[in-house]
Amino acid sequence: MTLSSNGKKNVISILIVDDHQFFREGLQKNLDLEDDLAVIGECSNGELALELAAKLHPDIVLLDVNLPSMNGLQVARQLKTARKETAIIVLTGYHDTEQVIHAMRSGASAYCPKEITPDQLIHIIRTVYGGSFFVNNVAMNAQEVTHWLSAQIEALGGSYIIDADEHFIPLSPRELEILQFVTNGMSNKEIAYRLRISQQTVKNHMTSILKKLNVEDRTQAAITALRHGWVRLNGSM
């Protein structure tokens, strides 16, 4: 329970962003059982999340990474730029160190797997509402998170994480768009026709994608992007 300075119970307002309706509904049912938590909105994509956050001013945003159209980490970055006081908890089925680093650097206060129990999530919501961070089941303050990020980046060699320089995802919006089409099985010719650009431009983008992701071919690039939740299998553009 969180209390205000006058001793009254604070109600923590929450926005849920996930493209699976049943998941959103399940979250809301569990959270609404708590007297100090209130789900004030829910939506299925990043554009709506930004609109609702601007309108509703939630204390907490529960945010999936793998969203249609706009990646969840891009949403997090824009949310924190527009409203620093909102805390973002990333809930995702993808979990690796690089993904956690991207999430925390994009403004998240916590990174959690979707199989987390309701009690654990409620504890994390209250923790980050109080100004703390939560990474790998450990509560941290801002200084501890900074040290953790530095250590993880150094351990990974961190080239593209550092060189990304505040983009948090190594690919540009156009490269992500092309890689989504690649993931859907489209050829360079088909992608060029769809985007109304030349095949050579598509090839140039693909060369850049392979270099940034440090992979050998289109298939490896698609697998890497899917694993991180940057694109969606059979996702629409």
Name which of 18, 27, 37, 21 is nearest 128 in CA terms: 37
Q: Which amino acid is at 138?
A: V
Which of 20-29, 45-54, 156-165 comes out lowest in average pLDDT? 156-165
Task: Provide the CA 37 distance to its chain's centre, in angstroms.
Answer: 22
72, pLDDT greater than 50: yes
Angstrom distances, CA of residue 223 to CA of 48, 101, 183, 196, 232: 27, 19, 8, 26, 10
Provide the pLDDT for residue 165: 39
Residue the block writes with tokens 């990974």: 156
Residue in 183, 190, 191 with CA at minimum distance from that of residue 228:
183
Residue 129 has pLDDT above 50, yes or no: yes
Structure tokens at 10: 């604070």
pLDDT of residue 73: 83
The pLDDT tens digits for 97-126 are: 777 888 888 899 999 988 899 999 999 999
Q: Which of 20-34, 82-96, 187-201 has the lowest mean pLDDT?
A: 82-96
What confidence score (pLDDT) does residue 5 get? Answer: 47
Confidence label for 8 from pLDDT (cuts 50, 70 and 90): low
Structure tokens at 108: 């998240």
Q: What percent of the chain has pLDDT over 70?
A: 87
Task: Say what the pTM is.
Answer: 0.70
Residues facing 134 on adjacent strands = 110, 139
* DSSP-derived secondary structure for 12-80: EEEEEE-S-HHHHHHHHHHHTTSTTEEEEEEESSHHHHHHHHHHH--SEEEEESS-SSS-HHHHHHHHH
Question: Please, what are the domains in the chain?
Answer: 12-155 (3.40.50.2300), 170-228 (1.10.10.10)
Q: What is the pLDDT of residues 167-181, one digit of tens each?
A: 456 787 789 889 989
38: which 2 tokens? 């209130």
Most confident stretch, 33-47, 148-162, 167-181, 210-224: 33-47
**For residue 101, what pLDDT is reported?**
83
